[in-house]
Amino acid sequence: MSHFKSINGSLLKHDFYPKVTAFYFKTWISFYMDFHRHDDIEIMYVLKGQCIVKVEKQSLLLKQGSFILLDANVPHKLVIDPNKPCRMLNIEFGFVEKNNLLPPLRKLINESQNLHEFLRFPFKYLVLKDTNEIYHTLKSLVLELDSKEEEQELMVQLHMTQLFVWLARMMKNALPQNEEANVYVKRAIDFLHQNYDCDIKIKDVGEAVNLHPGYLHRIFKKQMNLTMVEYLTSLRIEKAKMLLSETEIPIIDIAVYVGMNSRQYFSLLFKKYTETTPLQYRKFSQRNVHQIKE
């Protein structure tokens, strides 16, 4: 196995594939760690609590949902406040040169400008705040690494590829620390898109993004120029329009499909947003489809 001293070293010149060398969950309570370095690249992801990672002369505070990507051979140490335990997911990986199931990183960059820029970007460490994509990918990765399934190696390569794409996207969209509010708003939007069919309360969204609902409501409106309820309603109306034009589902059921339990209220809002009733919308859109087919 050949590890590289930096993530942006020779990856673009030869055929290399990521290989995970260590992965573990650990709750750090009270302990002492010296500065150290290793040949592997490391991701330290904070699941709960907080910690400080010292890199060179920098002290980097990592809170729940944030993580650090440390390049190989960068001296670092972990500092835990005795009163504030920290649960963390650690993954270490390097790169190997061998025939593999998937194209090498060098070829994948042809498909992604973000990935290309990420692998060329010179950094010793990156601190990023996750919007859940990284955690889901890391969790899938470690569960697969623990499995004994036949396709384990293929799945691990897929998850690692996915991880690199997410990291590349996040680095591109990396926000200054004082704009963390944007991350909360994005999480709230993700939550709305995943739960629009349920009876969502602002309180639920607040709990989902770990923020006081009143404050979340405020920053959401400030950034999006509309309230969470307005956003959710327009999302539901768009879904309803799609179901009306593309399916034969009864209108009363569509109201339930998009999370509105009241048919009357659904029709009222639909007319408010589209200036037509659900029935008229279905007739109009399906007539257009038939005309196109003829």
Number of residues that bind DNA (CB under 7 A): 28
Cβ nearer to DNA, comparing 37 with 212: 212
Interface with DNA includes 214 (CB under 7 A)?
Answer: yes
Among 72, 189, 208, 260, binds DNA (CB under 7 A): 260
Among 265, 279, 283, 288, binds DNA (CB under 7 A): 265
3-state DSSP of 176-197: CHHHHHHHHHHHHHHHHHHHCC
Stretch that binds DNA, among 7-15, 36-44, 207-215, 237-245 (CB under 7 A): 207-215
Please, which residues bridge with residue 59 across strands? 54
Q: Closest separation between CB of residue 224 and DNA, Å?
A: 11
Q: Which of 226, 231, 193, 185 is nearest to 209 (CA)?
A: 185
Among 218, 234, 252, 253, binds DNA (CB under 7 A): 218
Pairing of strands 125-129, 58-63: unpaired
Q: Which of 171, 162, 117 is nearest to 8 (CA)?
A: 117
Cβ nearer to DNA, comparing 15 with 230: 230
Stretch that binds DNA, among 9-17, 19-27, 121-129, 228-236 (CB under 7 A): 228-236
Residue 232 half-sphere exposure, CB side, CA atoms within 13 Å? Answer: 22
Residues 6+ apart with CB under 8 A from 167: 69, 118, 126, 128, 134
Interface with DNA includes 181 (CB under 7 A)?
Answer: yes
Interface with DNA includes 217 (CB under 7 A)?
Answer: yes
Interface with DNA includes 287 (CB under 7 A)?
Answer: no
- In sequence order, which ranges of 12-112 are alpha helices (DSSP H)? 105-108
Site residues, DNA (CB under 7 A): 178-181, 184, 200-203, 211-219, 221, 227-230, 260-262, 265, 268
